[in-house]
Amino acid sequence: MTNLKSLRESRGLSLRLLGERSGVHYVTLAKIEAGTLDPRLSTLRKLTKTLKVTMSELVGDQPITKRRS
């Protein structure tokens, strides 16, 4: 889950704020970012909805590229 931290930071969100908005505890988010916890599919869905990204953008190993508007 190399993209979660960069997606979160690019939106100016702290772990706590992303946790509040997504309904995922901030400690869980920290563990996911650190690579010590594999998230459940339901958690990934909450994060994709909150961050407004696709599943592959969130979990992919590809670097994030800016979308054209």
Task: Please write the tens of the pLDDT for every residue from 39-54.
Answer: 999 999 999 999 999 9
> Domain map of the chain by residue range?
2-57
Q: Residues with Cβ < 8 Å from 21, sequence gap 6 or more? A: 13, 50
- pLDDT over 90 percentage in the chain: 78
Fold of 2-57: 434 Repressor (Amino-terminal Domain) (1.10.260)
Q: Is the Cα dihedral 45, 39, 13, 69 positive or negative?
A: negative
Q: Can you give the pTM of this predicted structure?
A: 0.84
Tokens of 33: 């970012």
Task: Please write the tens of the pLDDT for every residue from 26-35.
Answer: 999 999 999 9
